[in-house]
Amino acid sequence: MVIDCVDRAKPALLTLIGERILTNVDTLAVKDFLLKLQESIVARLAAIDPDVTIVTDKWDRDSGGSGISRVMSGGRVFEKGGVNFSHVFGKAMPASATAERPELAGRAFQAMGVSLVIHPLNPMVPTSHANFRLFVAEKEGEESVWWFGGGYDLTPYYGFEEDCVHWHRTAERACAPFGANYYPDLKKRCDDYFFLKHRGEARGIGGLFFDDFNELGFERSFAFVQSLANSYLEAYVPIVEKRKDTEYTPEQREFQEYRRGRYVEFNLVFDRGTLFGLQSGVGRIESILMSLPPTVRWVYDWKPAPGSREEKLYTDFLPHRDWLKLATA
């Protein structure tokens, strides 16, 4: 059933930054930006793939939360994808949200964000993921604590050097107005985060990842998040348009499905957003698991043929690289 969203966002909160500096957190402005971001991304992707089916599901949870799920399927370019907005509330922060900040355990919270995963049909087009969120932890009689988190990353199945450089160059340009240190720092965090420890390999070629981000104060931190979020389409769309009509074989499609298995493993074992949604009790299961690909395969002890393009993914693209050669610049 489709119903209107229920808006329970608080317009402003007194927030502690560092130790003593207080500022206003404009949650309504963040929510407005996120909803417009969702709409702009869906519209742009739909323009690339007019045949894709898009289901809009507005939902509300009595336990504390509402959102809008925009789910794509059956397209000629995008086999499955989703661009979801959620604004959820809870009485106590789940373990996944306090693992790095145990002092916040037991606080009530509200979180809002846009999260998206796009699984293309053509194995020459990489899967992309992005999310941008605001988290506020509250406790009666104490200052509220807020932070932004998110980023974006790319998961190719067949590597193209120029695509990887374009992806990272766009990310670097989005970070540049806020300081030269942000791109290399957030790239390293992305490399470290999107790593399957049990496999000893990266999920993809990385991008940007940040969490617990409030160091620039609210207004500047929000501007930083907007810059990164607005650069996602600039980073991804040219790659899609360049590769979507590339011919591929049934064997290459099978390899795509095999590598999608790594995507599933990461999302169900390591992904903080997935774990938060499942542990918080206020997330919507269908929306949380929207990120999983429609078809996937696991093959026992599979190894790529020596010298093949599949092997090149493992040897040339998945190992962490300085794509922009900043270390030698």
**What pLDDT, in 10s, does the model give residues 59-117?**
887 767 889 999 999 999 999 999 999 998 877 766 555 556 656 666 788 889 999 99
Please tell me the pTM assigned to this model. Answer: 0.87
Nearest-angstrom CA–CA distance, 26 and 41: 23
Token representation of residue 329? 């610049």
* Residues in contact with 54: Cβ distance below 8 Å, sequence separation at least 6, in sequence order: 42, 46, 70, 71, 72
Per-residue pLDDT, averaged over 6-24, amounts to 34
Taking the CB of residue 18, how many other CB atoms lie within 10 A of it? 8
Counting every residue written for the chain, the total comes to: 329
Phi/psi for 93 (5° steps) reads -65, 135
Complete DSSP assignment for 144-155: BEEEEEEEEEEE
Q: Which two tokens stand for residue 136?
A: 């506020």
Confidence at residue 20, expressed as pLDDT on a 0 to 100 scale: 25
Q: Which two tokens stand for residue 60?
A: 């509300």
d(CA 152, CA 288): 17
Dist CA 222 CA 232 (whole Å): 16
Q: Please state, in angstroms and rounded to a whole number, the distance separating the CA atoms of residues 282 and 88.
A: 6
Task: State whether residue 130 is helix, strand or coil.
Answer: strand
Q: Would you say 124 and 243 are in contact if contact means Cβ atoms under 8 Å apart?
A: yes
Q: Among the options 129, 166, 168, 320, which is catalytic?
A: 129
Quick check: is 129 catalytic? yes
Least confident of 14-28, 203-217, 264-278, 301-315: 14-28
Between 26-35, 90-99, 137-146, the lowest mean confidence (pLDDT) is in 90-99
According to DSSP, residue 49 is labeled -
